[in-house]
Amino acid sequence: MRGMDLLRLAEVRHGYGRRPVLDGVSLALGAGQVVAVLGPNGAGKSTLLRIAAGRERPDAGTVTFRDAPADEDGAAFRADVACALGPGAHYPDLTVREHLLLVALAHGVPDAEERVDAALGEHRLADHAEQFPDALSAGLGQLLSLAATRVRPAELLILDEPEAHLDAEARAALGARLRALAAGGAAVLLATHDPALAERAGARRLSLADGRLRPAA
Ligand SMILES: Nc1ncnc2c1ncn2[C@@H]1O[C@H](COP(=O)(O)OP(=O)(O)OP(=O)(O)O)[C@@H](O)[C@H]1O
């Protein structure tokens, strides 16, 4: 239902140099929905997600969140939209737990300690809570980025290849978490190379190829 859409992309076009990457992409995502964008390497999935997250402005077309232009610098947008778009930046002298607390406190979460403990447990990070992020394996680092989206309120999550570096068990848990988040009313937009993750998350699957989004086969 159009009135319920949180995120809307309309006729988005974008390219680098003279090469078009997105060539008229439209997408509507409402509360409680998961959309998974699949497609080959270089298809433009990350570009699409950066634009949806207000990190990059499209050459043409519009991107709105709650009918206002998507802009990562906007306080309201940042308060409602949580992104994990690749390796996060870390403070070398803050532990995993301290990073998550920082995110929760910055977003004004009242029960920050409890929320961080829950996220550590959910993401199998409890045994790594006192480690420094630079010492984490690639998979654990990815789990930290995902946990950071869970210690704060978010009506919309935008996740780029959230399955990267995760083992089978962690991928299965991720799929179930995304499904549960949507059941709780959040909207999720992810790019993935893992159709099984999309399925577990209960996602509507779209394929990006030749700059266009189509229902995935
Ligand atoms: N900042 C940039 N400058 C120049 N070209 C870019 C830039 N970002 C992306 N591209 C190009 O845009 C195209 C789409 O890249 P993008 O990273 O969006 O693809 P993708 O579908 O996410 O790929 P992958 O599955 O490999 O992660 C590629 O040809 C890439 O080289």
Distance from Cα 75 to the centre of ligand 1, integer Å = 28
Summarised one tens digit per residue, pLDDT across range 40-66 is 999 999 999 999 999 999 999 999 999
Range 30-46 average pLDDT? 97
Q: How confident is the model at residue 133 (pLDDT cuts 50, 70, 90)?
A: very high
At residue 1, does pLDDT exceed 50?
A: no
Scan for tokens 């690639």, then name that residue. Answer: 138
The domain total for the chain is 1
How big is the CA angle at 73 (ends 69 and 79), to the nearest 5 degrees? Answer: 85
Distance from Cα 24 to the centre of ligand 1, integer Å = 17
Q: Which atom of ligand 1 is nearest to the CA of 49?
A: 18
Whether residue 20 is contained in a domain is answered as yes
Q: What is the DSSP letter of 155?
A: S
Whether residue 142 is contained in a domain is answered as no
pLDDT at 17: 87
CATH of the domain at 171: 3.40.50.300
Range 165-182 average pLDDT? 97
At residue 113, does pLDDT exceed 80?
A: yes
Whether residue 72 is contained in a domain is answered as yes
Q: Quick count: other Cβ atoms within 10 Å of Cβ 109?
A: 17
Helix orientation angle between 138-148 and 112-122, rounded to the nearest 10 degrees: 140
Q: Which atom of ligand 1 is nearest to the CA of 50?
A: 18
Whether residue 18 is contained in a domain is answered as yes
3-state SS of the chain?
CHHHEEEEEEEEEEEECCEEEEEEEEEEEECCCEEEEECCCCCCHHHHHHHHCCCCCCCEEEEEECCEECCCCCHHHHHHEEEECCCCCCCCCCCHHHHHHHHHHHCCCCCHHHHHHHHHHHCCCHHHCCCCHHHCCHHHHHHHHHHHCCCCCCCEEEEECCCCCCCHHHHHHHHHHHHHHHHCCCEEEEECCCHHHHHHCCCEEEEEECCEEEECC
Distance from Cα 41 to the centre of ligand 1, integer Å = 8
Whether residue 172 is contained in a domain is answered as yes
Do the interacting molecules here have an ipTM over 0.95?
A: yes
Summarised one tens digit per residue, pLDDT across range 87-108 is 878 898 999 999 999 999 999 9
3-state SS of 70-107?
CCCCCHHHHHHEEEECCCCCCCCCCCHHHHHHHHHHHC
Whether residue 15 is contained in a domain is answered as yes
- Six-digit token pair at 56? 């990059």
Output the ligand 1 site: residues, CB below 6 A. Answer: 16, 21, 39, 41-47
Domain region containing 30? 2-87+151-215
Whether residue 132 is contained in a domain is answered as no
pLDDT at 2: 44
| Mean pLDDT computed over every residue of the chain | 94
Whether residue 139 is contained in a domain is answered as no
